[in-house]
Chains A and B, each alone.
Chain A
Amino acid sequence: KAGVTQTPRYLIKTRGQQVTLSCSPISGHRSVSWYQQTPGQGLQFLFEYFSETQRNKGNFPGRFSGRQFSNSRSEMNVSTLELGDSALYLCASSLYRTSYEQYFGPGTRLTVT
């Protein structure tokens, strides 16, 4: 079974631009969560989608948004990019919600200049 895939793997953007990242979960998984990983803040939860609805949201500004499609694929969008948004963005999928194993993709490395 294929794992979680994320595209693109690397991205360079300029301050003020916006970016969209894509995540395809493991086949059959219905929950997709997004995390931001930086050397200073570590792994931080952004939001979780299940059945096309956002179920949980972390402590990030409204510039960070996401959505989930009927096939469980998910996208996250960051508008008005700031230098501090440079990070590895990780997507994780899970079969259901609560106490189920989450499997991570390889991440998208976003650099904001």
Chain B
Amino acid sequence: GENVEQHPSTLSVQEGDSAVIKCTYSDSASNYFPWYKQELGKGPQLIIDIRSNVGEKKDQRIAVTLNKTAKHFSLHITETQPEDSAVYFCAAEPTGNQFYFGTGTSLTVIP
């Protein structure tokens, strides 16, 4: 089955700096790659996603890049703010609605 690896497991940045989280996947059948943000006591919240026919997608301060050849994708958050502090998960979907998740990155933005 699909195997998704995520790095780093923890990340601390100063407010205003950028944060980058990287994921790799193993199944070439995966074509959809969402990113989720999970705050304490809440369910994961979809923040951005990318499909295999696109190399990059941006939404305000958040961007995702995808390299299908290398089987890796990354989340970029610019101008970080304290409210960006949370656990971020990447995921890959090799088959209908069956997502495989990375192990999560705990992001702390220091004011």
Given A43-B89, A98-B32, A99-B51, A104 and B97 touching (CB < 8 A)? Answer: no
Within 8 A of B (CB), among A74-95: 90, 94
Interface centre among A44, A45, A90, A106 (most CB of B within 10 A): A45
Q: How many A residues, CB 8 Å from partner?
A: 27
User: Which chain B residue shows the least CB distance to A45?
Assistant: B98
Interface SS of chain A: strand
Q: Chain B residues near A105 (CB, 8 Å)?
A: 43
Task: State which of A12-20, A48-56, A61-69 sits at the interface with chain B.
Answer: A48-56
Task: State which of B15-23, B59-67, B72-80, B100-108 sits at the interface with chain A.
Answer: B100-108
Contact A48–B43 (Cβ < 8 Å)? no
Residues of B at the A interface (CB closer than 8 Å) are 1, 31-32, 34, 36, 41-46, 49, 51, 89, 91, 93, 95-104
Residues of A at the B interface (CB closer than 8 Å) are 4, 31, 33, 35, 42-45, 48, 50, 55-56, 58-59, 90, 94, 97-107
